[in-house]
Structures are given as C-alpha cells and as structure tokens.
Structure 1
Amino acid sequence: MPRRHRRRFPTAALGGTGMLGLFLAIVLAGTVHNARNTISGTAYAAPEPAPTVHKGTPAQPGTANPAPAEPGAAPETANPAPAAPEPEAPRTRAPAAPRPQAAGTVRLAHGGTATLVRREVGIDGVLPIPNSLIQASWWGAELHAAAGATVLAGHVNWRGATGPFAELWSAKPGDPVSLVDQAGTLIPYRVSQVVTLGKDELPIRAEELFAQDGPHRLVLVTCGGRWVGGERGYASNQIAIAVPA
C-alpha cells in the first residue's frame, strides 16, 4: 500500500538560528524626561508715568501755562501706528497620491511594501526567511487561488532598519491589504483577524492557519514581542489574516 505524503506546514517560527532582529518585534524602550523651560533675566522698574495737566487746574509755579486750543481745532493725537497686515490664510496642500504598486508585491494599510519571493518549507518545517528587508517569503496558495492560504512572511527589522511587516503590530480588522501579480493585476484584501502567538503555539496551530484547503485567504506573518535571543529570537509571532475584498 503506498504511503500517504504528509504535507509540511511552516511550524518553526518562520525562521531559525541567526534571525536576530529580522522577523519583528517592536520593543519600545526609552526614558521619558520631563523638562521645564525657564527664562532668566533682570527685572527693571517700570517707568514713572508722565505728568498730566487737567483743564481748569492752574499750572505749578515756574511752569508755562499751556497754550489755549483754537476753537474748533481737533485735539492733538499721536500719529496712529500702521495697522498690522492681516495674516494670510494657511495654504492647505493636497495629499500626495500614493505611488502605483509595483508588480509582484504586497502593500499593507500604511504603505509598507515588500516584494514577493517564492519559497518552500524545508524538511525541518522552517520557511526560509527573506534575503532582504523589503522582501516577503511566499509559500502556499497562488495569488489567484480559489482556496487555501497564501502565506507571506516578512522581516520586522534588520540591521537597525524597520521592515514593512512591522505594520502587522498595529494591524486591525478592516485594514486594506493589496497584492499585485506579475501581470500588474491588483488583488484587494481586508484584514479579518489579527492573532499573536507564542513561538511554542505556532506549531500547534500551523495546520489551522496555513492549510491549503478551505476559503482562500492571505496570511501575513512576522515576529515580535520579547527578545529572547538564541534560536528563538523573538518570543512571539504576529499574524494577520486577510480575505478577498
């Protein structure tokens, strides 16, 4: 009796030894400093007001009487200061149109874009990681498949730079995701579910998430959470599942 071939799924954290920071983990660390600006200077006494002469009041001895005003003459006033020009209304710039999406790419809700590179799961169940920060390993169903999961795995950061798949850590249901095939055809999706799993949980749910049967879906995967180093790299995987829009 022929042996049944067992389909392999990505089960080993989508990466292995040497991952370092690539597959993601946005670990926010920092110190907040509260600072108060101070202004130092010397206080000067306010100038004394100039003396005024009230009508009908005799001048003090030794001072000249003010000349009477001519009938009908307008009272003297200081030359008024020129009115300040009215500020111009702020000019609003129209938002820049998004760049056309290149063929063979995936674009996330906030513009993160990666080039699709076809990969196959190794005998150890590991999906090879991309060779570049702006690439995504593509495994599973074809882009126009009627069923099954199209799995895309991308870096979160690498060599001090943030990868486009870092966006998965802020993804939410309803976010748009788009694929463009090699012919330039746009394939729109909407995120339906976002899941965070520990590295030990991923093998348990691999068949559920990455199965090649059932309704067609796009499964986007990266790493993140706490950095533990070694073969594990980051402690978690961030997964967004998107369905055709």
Structure 2
Amino acid sequence: MRGRPVVAAGVSALALAAVAALFGGTAAVPGTPVAAPAPPVSAAGAAGAALPAAAPAAAPTTTTAPAAPKPSSPPKAAAPERPAAPKSQAAGTVRLRGGGEARLVRTELGPDATLPVPESLREATWWGADLAADEGATVLAGHVNWRGRTGPFAELWDARVGDHVSVVDPAGKNWSYQVSEVVTLGKDELPARAEALFGQSGEHRLVLVTCGGRWVGGSDGYESNRIVVAVPA
C-alpha cells in the first residue's frame, strides 16, 4: 500500500488564461495576433461638404408575385443516445464505483500477523472470510499508488456510504456489496480497531484497505489507512 507521493502536473498557460477570465480580467494567449479595431463610421458628411444629389425615382414596373414555397416535412427527431454498456468484469476481480479494478490474490497473514501487500499495482491481496461466508470480514488490501502510478484503490479516498462494490470470484460468480462505513485511521490507531474491522466474527462484510494521507517515509510510508466497509447488497 506504500507508494511515492504523486506530484500534480503544472498549470498550463491556457488554464491561467481561464482563471483570469473568471475574475473579470483578460488574458491574451502568447503568439496570437490581435486585429486592430476598424475606425468608426460617421452618418453625417464633413462640415461644409456638398451632399450628393438624390437619384431620380425609377418608373413603376409590373412584377409577378413569386410562387408560394412548398411546405417541407418536419425534421425527424434524433434518436436518444443509449448509455454505453458497462465493461464485463473478469473472474477473480474487485471493481469499485468509479471503475477501478484489481485482481484478487488469496493470501495468509505474515509471520508477524501483518497483512501482506500485493506485488502488483493492479492486484489486491485477499485475506479472511470467503465471499459466501455468513460471518467475518473478507479483507482486500491494495496500493494507492506505486512508483508514480495511481492504483485502483486510490478511489477509496473518494468513497461514500451507499457506493456499489462488485466482486467476481474465481469461479465467475458475482457478489454485490454496498458501502456502509468509511474510516480513516492513523497507523498508530489501527491496532485498537483491528478486531472490530477485520475480525472473523460478526456479520459478513467486505473490508477494503489502502494507504494515504501525509507521506512520512520509513516503514510506514503514508501516515494513514483508509478503510471502506461494505455489506452484501
């Protein structure tokens, strides 16, 4: 779950121009020529100038009324656009509300009772209860980022109660969950809450875990953990 902090890209000149416009200012894009305004046109002649004589009136002529235009058929209404079908989800994956998807890797706790982190940015380690269990936590842990790339579990920092989470087990069966709780804990706060969040008693739940907050380096990496709890929908 550790990773290097992601540095935001710099602001472009075009973005600065948009900001200036929002505050009522003007901003020219460098290199764009600006046309000079045309001189104003006066309706009256210069003082003392002779006005031209009026042209003689033309003799009346007989004209034929143009034929009435044929009525045209009303334009056809455009067919409403259909929303794109969601991409099918592969077996053995978890998908978050925003589309972030990670491959599940079943694992056991390490010798010091710590949850192993996945080896790949697109993987989530899976420890604890099976998806079909009546009780206990199915714990999935994933990276927030790694070597400057953002991981799918970065979405957990935008998670809200009511969000949908979809899990497809290795056999291809779909399990649907709805977020019921979102928790942010410092690394030093996590041990006191570990049993309640990750324990194998109580109603069955899906628990998604990643890191984030301030980068402190060392063995901690980030100072906080983001924990999202979801219940069967």
Residue 68 of structure 1 pairs with residue 62 of structure 2: no
Spell out, residue by residue over 1:184-238, the C-alpha distance to the aligned partner (whole angstroms, 9 max, x if none): 1111000000000000011111111111011000000000000111111001000
**Counterpart for residue 220 of structure 1:** 208
For 2:211, the aligned partner's letter is: C
Displacement, 1:72? 5.7
The verdict on how the C-alpha distance between 1:30 and 1:196 changes in structure 2, with shifts beyond 3 A counting, is farther
Equivalent of residue 205 in structure 1, options 193, 207, 212: 193
The verdict on how the C-alpha distance between 1:213 and 1:64 changes in structure 2, with shifts beyond 3 A counting, is closer
Displacement, 1:43? 3.5
Provide the secondary structure at the position in 1 that maps to 2:133: coil
CA distance in 1, matches of 2:54, 2:183: 92
Residue 152 of structure 1 pairs with residue 136 of structure 2: no
Residue 20 of structure 1 pairs with residue 3 of structure 2: yes
Spell out, residue by residue over 1:169-192, the C-alpha distance to the aligned partner (whole angstroms, 9 max, x if none): 010111000111122111100000
Tell me which structure has the larger Cα radius of gyration.
Answer: 1
CA distance in 2, matches of 1:72, 1:220: 88
Contact 2:3 2:147 survives alignment (8 Å)? no
CA distance in 2, matches of 1:243, 1:26: 31
Residue 108 of structure 1 pairs with residue 96 of structure 2: yes
Equivalent of residue 184 in structure 1, options 169, 172, 179: 172
Contact 1:26 1:224 survives alignment (8 Å)? no
Equivalent of residue 38 in structure 2, options 40, 44, 47: 44
Contact 1:107 1:114 survives alignment (8 Å)? yes
Aligned residue pairs total 203
Which stretches of structure 1, 4 residues or longer, exceed 6 Å deviation after superposition? 25-32, 88-92
Contact 1:128 1:137 survives alignment (8 Å)? yes
C-alpha RMSD of matched pairs (Å): 3.0
Contact 2:3 2:148 survives alignment (8 Å)? no
Displacement, 1:69? 2.6
CA distance in 2, matches of 1:211, 1:218: 11
The verdict on how the C-alpha distance between 1:167 and 1:40 changes in structure 2, with shifts beyond 3 A counting, is same
CA distance in 2, matches of 1:236, 1:209: 15
TM score, norm. by length of structure 2: 0.76
Residue 195 of structure 1 pairs with residue 183 of structure 2: yes
The verdict on how the C-alpha distance between 1:90 and 1:168 changes in structure 2, with shifts beyond 3 A counting, is farther
TM score, norm. by length of structure 1: 0.73
Residue 235 of structure 1 pairs with residue 217 of structure 2: no
Contact 2:161 2:182 survives alignment (8 Å)? yes
Structure 2 gaps of 5+ residues are 21-25, 64-75
Displacement, 1:159? 1.7
